[in-house]
Each structure stands twice: as structure tokens, then as C-alpha cells.
Amino acid sequence: MAGLSTRRSDNKTVTFGDAAAVTSLPFWGLLGVITLFGVWFLTTTAFGFPSELEEKYNAAAETKAIEKAEAAGEPVDFDRLSDRELFVECQRDGDNCNNKTSYTQVVSSLSFPSIPDTIGAAQELFTDGYQNFSIWEHTWASLWRVLRGMFWGSVVGIPVGLSMGLSSRARGFFDPLVEGFRPIPPLALLSLFVLTFGIGDKAAVPLLIFASLWIMIIAARAGVRNASLAKVRASYSLGASKSQLLRKVLIPNALPEIFTGLRVALGVSWGTLVAAELTGVQDGLGAMISQAKNFSRLDIIVVGIVIIALIGVLMDGFIRFLESILIPWQGKG
Amino acid sequence: MRALSVKNLEMVYEVPKGDPVHALSNINFDLKGGRLLTLLGPSGCGKTTLLNIIAGFLGPTEGEVYLGDEKITGPSEDRGMVFQQGALFEWLNVSKNISFGPRMAGVKKSVYLPEVERLLDTVGLSGFGDKQIYELSGGMQQRVALARCLANDPDMMLMDEPLGALDALTREKMQSLILNLWNETGKSIVMVTHSVEEALLLGDKVFVMAPRPGRIEKVYELPFAVRALSEDPREIKKGADFQEVKEEILSFIWEMEEEIMGREEA
């Protein structure tokens, strides 16, 4: 009929709940990120401490630190930890360093880094590196640790989880261990791991394995338990043996849960990284952040955080890409 | 096709903190090879339990089930099963689902591939072999389930409400498909259904079962299944003879349901 408007086939009348929330729109994602940076800009840069004043103030603090050191009869080298501390101490005595600098200005110079500060720190990191390692070496060191942790966590965790899903004996045996170990914060185990395994990577990697192990066990177990009784029975009446049932039915059927586990483990592993790199390793983003903390280099901390966030997003995107290839049926039942 | 014989079957479920449930009591029957038996009855009458015992998924408390001379002790590829839904393997495409049984038995690709093509044709899915399961409608998925079951060339096909999740029109088409498969393959079929109409049209033998304890209350030998192979099933359903049996069974089941409700209220 003339004048009748054609309805688009994707016109939704239900716009609340799952029906509306299955797909996310890239525009809104972008808006979320812009909002975050906007808030950062407004609170630190637009209304924050003017950077030229801060430089003046820092110069004054540096002079004060040198004076203080010379009075004690020692040369000052700001790359040395104790001298850096001296500098920071002089910054804190704001009023003594520079009479024009007020207390609030001192505090704001030590508060959340502004966007220009962070960009400056990023430039410094990308050209000079930090603490004798380039930023790429730091990043790769952390990435390699996280990957090793997740790999061994999965290699051990998935079979244990599968066995728990399949046998009540295995479930009985492992259940108290899993539930007991799972809530322990990796940071609490730090010293024990260093004493047991040694300093550096010898303790850092086991700590990351510890972080992902329980997640992978629970994911694999849930995957097996999710297999419908109908699928198991159908397999048997089609002539499958027990081992065929496991390999051809239960493991593929558990893939969606295992991938969900990998995504959760990924987040938790990066979240454990700073703790894991307190084990005496020199390289790595977590180590970089801890050292920057000692020198009050908040801008470097923020750069480290941003890099971790970016890698996290990229790796999650990669796992999602694998999901779309390996388990295309997910969510389409 | 081997005959099925069920002897003195008793099934009692132990319920924690409650009286044991007598799911099946004194079930005895023989079913010649190539018959189509439908099981009908109110919920809780044990029809699915009976089917699961024949399939070998459950062991009876007492009694035996034989297929030919062979005692049934567990699931086997000579008794294929079709479920209501959710039993297909989503990670395999249509062809691989159908060839699952032969592949588990180590049959060569050159042997099972032509067989898969033939089965796709039989169930009306020619050209759908490479499709993924989630791309198919509910009716098409049940066609895959039927083909997968047939791929093992079983003596017997067991069906647990295979059409229960389908819309009315698709259901009618699938009823005709099942009748044609039954006619062409000559296999025995035992089918559980909730629909009286479906049970009467498809079953050349119908058991109406009653609950507490689960038992076979009435046995019908009906001509409609054979007639539906050559006549229009819709016309058969309209016929006075069909309607008469349907009313008789409906009022019988109705009375049983009333009785159950009354007993629970008391």
C-alpha cells in the first residue's frame, strides 16, 4: 500500500535488559574512555597546579637539597636513592624551600599527575627507559611472566578441574584445597614464595601461577558440570567409550567456560603483577611501578598503569577473537 | 529387527527423607521387531523411566529387558536415542554430528561419508551438511538428531518427546517424517509423548500408563500409523474412529490427574 512505511527488521520494541544489551556499541565505548580522560584533565590539568610554577618550585627544592647535602659535606647525585629522598624531603618542607610556595601548592605537586606530566613521563620512558631497562624490556618482561603464569596455571588447573567435574572422589579430594587456597591474596604469600623458591622469577612466576590456577580449576569444573545429561546419554547410546566421551564431548563442551576462565585469569594475573614483581626482579612494569613509588614519581606510575590497561584490553580482545573462531555457538543456543 | 521383551520390571527410587517412589511396577510386554510403540500417560507415570531402562541409562530394581536374546545392561549403539532437545554437539557441524557414531566405532571416512549424504537426503536436509547446529531451526535440529541416530543402523530407535519443543505445524511435518522413516527402515521405535493425538497417529501400538505405582493400564493396537503412510494424516485425525479413541484416552487420563490432585490435597 502506498504511504506505508517499511519497518526495519532490527527495530526493537524491547529495549530493556538482555534484548538491548547483547551488543555493545563502539561509540559508547569511545565515549566512556573520553569521559575518563576528560575527568582526569579537568581535575588535574585544567584546575590543577600550574606546571611552570611547579618547575620553579622543584628547582628551589633541588637547590635546597644540594645545599643541605653540601652542608653535610657530600656531593649530590639524584640518581642515588638517598639523595632523591633528600630532594623529596626538601619538597615537603615547602615553605623553607621557597617562601612564595604555599602548602597547598606543595601538596598538589605530589598529588595525581596531570595529563601533560604523564605524557612527559611517557616520553622520558620511551626514550631513556627506567632503571636501566627500556620500556619495551619492562613491558615484555611482565607480559612474558603473565603468559607463563597463565600457561602453567591452565596446564595444571584444567585437568584438575576436569577431574573434579568427572569424579566425586577427585571432587572430594580437591574441593577443600581449592576453596581454601582460592581466597588467599598472593601478596600474603610473597615472602613465603621467595623463601621457598628463591628471589626473582623463581618466585614471581609461581605467584602468577597461583593467581590463575584456582580460576582455571573452577572454570574447567563448571564446564564439565554444564554438560547436559542428554548429551552424555546420547554419546553413550551412539557407542562412545568413556575416554571418547571425555575427549570428543566433555572437553569441547567445556570450552566456553574455560575461555571465560582464561579471561578472568588474565585480569587477575595482571592484577597480581605488582605483587609478583616485588620478589626482587629488576625488570617489569610492576617493578617499575614499585620503584617509581619509592621516588614519588607518580607520573611514571600512571604511565605503567596505562600500559598495563592497554595490554589487558588487547589480550582480552585476542581471547574474544579466539572465542569467536573456536566456540562460535556460544550464546546462540 | 530383534524383538524387545520386558519381564517383571520393578523400579523403586530411594528418596532421601521420604518414602521410596514406586516408579514402575510389574511391567511385562513383548514388542515384535519393526513395531512403533508410543507411551502415553500423566506426568509421574514412569514412561520416561521405562524408556531410560530400555536405553540402558537406568538399571531396574528388579526384572530384565531383552533385545532378541541379549540382556540389556547398559547403553549401546543398537538402541539409538533421540532427545527432546540439547543433545546435539554444537562444536560439530551437521555432517560431523551425523557421523559421530560411525567415527567413534572407527569406521573409515570413505565408508561413512556417502552414508551421511544419504541420511541427509532421507531426513530432508540435503545441502545442509556444512551448516553449524546453531544455524538450524528447532525442527531441522531434530532432523539431524534422527539422522545421527540412524547412522549407527540401530535395531531400535528410542525417542523421548522428540517433537515436544516444536511448533504445531513443524510438529505435523515431523510426525510424517518419523512415520516414513519407520516405514522405510523397518526399525522398531519406542516413543514417549505427552500428546494424545501424536501417540494415536504414530503408534501402531499404544500403552496408556498410570502412576503410583507406574504401570501399563491400557494397551491399544491402532491402524492409524499404517494408514497415515498413504492417507492425509489430517483427515485421519478428523475421522470419527480416531476421535473416539482420543476422547476415551483423554477422559481416562483426566480422571487419573483428578485422582492424583485429590490425593495430594488430602
Task: Answer yes or no: is B179 within a domain.
Answer: yes
- Supply the pLDDT for residue A5: 47
Residues B130 and B20 both lie in one domain: no
* Domains: count for chain B: 2
Q: Final residue of a domain: which of B153, B168, B192?
A: B153
What are the tens digits of pLDDT across the range B118-142? 999 989 888 898 999 988 988 899 9
Q: Could you tell me the three cell numbers for B157?
A: 530407535
Q: Final residue of a domain: which of B128, B153, B178?
A: B153
Residues B132 and B5 both lie in one domain: no
**Nearest Cβ partner of A329 from B55, B75, B90?**
B90
- Supply the pLDDT for residue A2: 46
Residues B133 and B170 both lie in one domain: no
Chain centre distance of CA A167: 34
Residues B161 and B71 both lie in one domain: yes
Q: Final residue of a domain: which of B153, B176, B211?
A: B153
Task: Answer yes or no: is B114 within a domain.
Answer: yes
Residues of B with CB under 8 A from a CB of A: 55-57, 74-77, 79-81, 83-87, 89-91, 100-101, 104-105, 132-134, 148-149, 152, 158
Chain centre distance of CA A173: 32
Going by their DSSP bridges, the two strands B70-71 and B62-67 should be labelled as antiparallel
HSE-CB at B92 with a 13 A cutoff on CA atoms is: 23
Residues B221 and B115 both lie in one domain: no
CA distance A16 to chain B (A): 25
Over residues B248-253, the mean pLDDT reads 90
Name the residue range of residue B134's domain: 84-153
HSE-CB at A86 with a 13 A cutoff on CA atoms is: 21
Q: Between these two residues, A256 and B257, which has the higher pLDDT value?
A: A256
A252 close to B (CB below 8 A): yes
Task: Answer yes or no: is B263 within a domain.
Answer: no
- The CA distance from A230 to A222, in Å, is 17
What are the pLDDT tens digits along chain A (333 aa)? 444 444 444 555 555 555 445 567 788 889 999 999 999 888 877 765 555 566 666 777 777 777 777 777 777 666 665 666 666 666 666 544 444 444 444 444 556 788 888 898 999 999 888 888 999 999 999 999 999 999 999 999 999 999 998 888 999 999 999 999 999 998 899 999 999 999 989 999 999 999 999 999 999 999 998 888 899 999 999 999 989 999 999 999 999 999 999 999 999 999 998 889 988 888 999 999 999 888 888 889 999 999 999 999 999 999 989 988 888 887 665
The length of chain A is 333
Q: State which residue of chain B sits closest to A332, comparing Cα positions.
A: B134
Sign of CA pseudo-dihedral A282, A283, A284, A288 = positive
Q: State which residue of chain B sits closest to A327, comparing Cα positions.
A: B91
Angular region, A3: left φ>0, alpha ψ -120 to 50, beta rest: left
Nearest Cα residue to A178 out of A156, A200, A203, A206? A156
Residue percentage of chain B with pLDDT more than 90? 45
Q: What angle do CA A117, A100, A78 make, to 5 degrees?
A: 50
Residue B237 pLDDT exceeds 80: yes
- Supply the pLDDT for residue A318: 92
CATH code, domain with B247? 3.40.50.300
What are the tens digits of pLDDT across the range B7-59? 988 898 888 888 888 888 888 899 988 899 999 988 888 889 999 999 999 98
What are the tens digits of pLDDT across the range B189-200? 999 998 999 999
- Supply the pLDDT for residue A49: 53
Task: Answer yes or no: is B265 within a domain.
Answer: no
Cβ contacts of B87 on chain A, cutoff 8 Å: 228, 230-231, 233-234
Residues B74 and B88 both lie in one domain: no
Residues B165 and B142 both lie in one domain: no
Nearest Cα residue to A240 out of B136, B155, B133, B148? B148
What ipTM was assigned to the predicted interfaces of this complex?
Answer: 0.89
What are the tens digits of pLDDT across the range B153-174? 999 999 999 998 889 889 998 9
Task: Answer yes or no: is B102 within a domain.
Answer: yes
Residues B214 and B100 both lie in one domain: no
Burial class (CB in 10 A: 0-12, 13-18, 19+), B130: exposed
Residues B42 and B161 both lie in one domain: yes
Cβ contacts of B133 on chain A, cutoff 8 Å: 329
Residues B136 and B181 both lie in one domain: no
SS3 assignment for chain A: CCCCCCCCCCCCCCCCCHHHHCCCCHHHHHHHHHHHHHHHHHHHHHCCCCHHHHHHHHHHHHHHHHHHHHHCCCCCCCCCHHHHHHHHHHHHCHHHHCCCCCHHHHHHHCCCCCHHHHHHHHHHHHHHCECCECHHHHHHHHHHHHHHHHHHHHHHHHHHHHHHHHCHHHHHHHHHHHHHHCCCCHHHHHHHHHHHHCCCHHHHHHHHHHHHHHHHHHHHHHHHHCCCHHHHHHHHHCCCCHHHHHHHHHHHHHHHHHHHHHHHHHHHHHHHHHHHCCCCCCCCHHHHHHHHHHCCCHHHHHHHHHHHHHHHHHHHHHHHHHHHHHCCCCCCC
CA distance B242 to chain A (A): 34
Burial class (CB in 10 A: 0-12, 13-18, 19+), A85: middle
Residues B20 and B54 both lie in one domain: yes
- Supply the pLDDT for residue A47: 66
- Supply the pLDDT for residue A309: 92
Give the Cβ contact number of residue A152 at 10 Å: 18
Residues B206 and B118 both lie in one domain: no
Q: State which residue of chain B sits closest to A326, comparing Cα positions.
A: B91
Q: Could you tell me the three cell numbers for B115?
A: 552414508
The full set of domains in chain A, from first to last, is: 49-111 (no CATH), 142-279 (1.10.3720.10)
- Supply the pLDDT for residue B20: 84
Going by their DSSP bridges, the two strands B21-31 and B4-13 should be labelled as antiparallel
Residue with cell 497415515: B228
- The CA distance from B54 to B156, in Å, is 10
Backbone angles phi, psi at B130, to 5 degrees: -90, 0
Residues of A numbered 180-239 whose beta carbons fall under 8 angstroms of chain B's beta carbons: which are they?
228, 230-231, 233-239
- The CA distance from B165 to B87, in Å, is 13
- Supply the pLDDT for residue A161: 95
Contact A239 B89 (CB under 8 A): no
- The CA distance from A53 to A59, in Å, is 10
Task: Answer yes or no: is B266 within a domain.
Answer: no
What are the tens digits of pLDDT across the range B60-90? 899 899 998 888 888 988 999 999 887 899 9
Burial class (CB in 10 A: 0-12, 13-18, 19+), A46: exposed
CA distance B86 to chain A (A): 7
- Supply the pLDDT for residue A48: 55
Burial class (CB in 10 A: 0-12, 13-18, 19+), A183: exposed
Query: pTM value?
Result: 0.76
Task: Answer yes or no: is B264 within a domain.
Answer: no
Task: Answer yes or no: is B38 within a domain.
Answer: yes
Over residues B218-246, the mean pLDDT reads 89
